[in-house]
């Protein structure tokens, strides 16, 4: 199948608009109004265990599947990563190589790039673990429509990070193509991925 670039972009844009509309009409539970009212995505360069990783490193026909989380999250984050790994595994092979999953830790105080690497490797999905400066992460999360908040706990954990648990699909320009909420089914995640990647009618 040959890709027609222009049509691909049109398709992606349409999908983006559609997904955007769905999200803002369907479940507009905008957490405490701290996220951008119309998340558009943003390019980023963050730190991985192998140095800087930038969205612009992706090829034009690749998409990043982004998740904001932290490794001290014992339940929601691993579930989301297993969910992501399964959806990617079930993608047709020629599409699989066009998705780069990225786990952005919003807990840079505890998650060093090395710890992140050990964490993401466990899910065997080729996930890249990245993190950065607090300020930078806060801004980036907002640009994608993610929200998180550090909360001190009366617990041996010290603090937890309350966070949204959505997936974001973005291209190498940092443009948000689709948002998939935490309660998306595996099928929906897969369908959205396939749609976004295959929107290239001859």
| Chain positions contacting another protein, by CB under 8 A | 27, 29-32, 71-76, 78-79, 82-83, 86-87, 90, 92, 115, 118-119, 121-122, 147-149, 151, 153-157, 160, 162-166, 181-182, 185-187, 190-191, 194
Nearer to another protein, 145 or 174 (CB): 145
> To the nearest whole angstrom, how small is the minimum distance from the Cβ of residue 123 to another protein?
8
- Number of Cβ atoms within 10 Å of the Cβ of 32: 8
Nearer to another protein, 12 or 163 (CB): 163
Nearer to another protein, 52 or 162 (CB): 162
> To the nearest whole angstrom, how small is the minimum distance from the Cβ of residue 73 to another protein?
8
> To the nearest whole angstrom, how small is the minimum distance from the Cβ of residue 133 to another protein?
22
Nearer to another protein, 58 or 65 (CB): 65
> To the nearest whole angstrom, how small is the minimum distance from the Cβ of residue 82 to another protein?
4
Return d(Cα 47, Cα 128) in angstroms, integer: 10
CB 60 within 8 A of CB 23: no
Q: What are all long-range contacts of 136-143, with beta carbons under 8 Å and residues at least 24 apart?
A: 136/44, 136/46, 137/104, 137/106, 137/108, 139/42, 140/42, 140/44, 140/104, 141/35, 141/68, 141/104, 141/106, 142/34, 142/35, 142/36, 142/39, 143/36, 143/39, 143/40, 143/41, 143/42
> To the nearest whole angstrom, how small is the minimum distance from the Cβ of residue 31 to another protein?
5
N-to-C CA span, the chain: 8
Nearer to another protein, 29 or 50 (CB): 29
């Amino acid at each position: 199948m040959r890709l027609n670039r222009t049509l691909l972009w049109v398709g992606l844009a349409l999908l983006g608009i559609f997904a955007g509309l769905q999200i803002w009409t369907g479940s507009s539970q905008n957490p405490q109004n701290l996220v951008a009212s119309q998340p558009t995505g943003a390019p980023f360069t963050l730190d991985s265990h192998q140095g800087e990783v930038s969205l612009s490193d992706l090829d034009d026909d690749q998409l990043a599947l982004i998740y904001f989380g932290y490794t001290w999250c014992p339940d929601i984050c691993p579930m989301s990563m297993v969910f992501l790994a399964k959806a990617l595994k079930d993608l047709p092979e020629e599409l699989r190589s066009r998705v780069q999953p990225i786990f952005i830790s919003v807990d840079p105080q505890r998650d060093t790039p090395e710890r992140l690497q050990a964490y993401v490797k466990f899910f065997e999905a080729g996930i890249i673990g990245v993190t950065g400066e607090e300020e930078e992460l806060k801004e980036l999360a907002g640009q994608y429509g993610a929200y998180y908040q550090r909360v001190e706990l009366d617990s041996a954990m010290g603090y937890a990070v309350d966070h949204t648990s959505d997936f974001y699909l973005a291209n190498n320009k940092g443009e948000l193509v689709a948002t998939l909420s935490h309660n998306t089914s595996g099928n929906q995640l897969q369908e959205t991925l396939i749609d976004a990647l295959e929107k290239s009618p001859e």
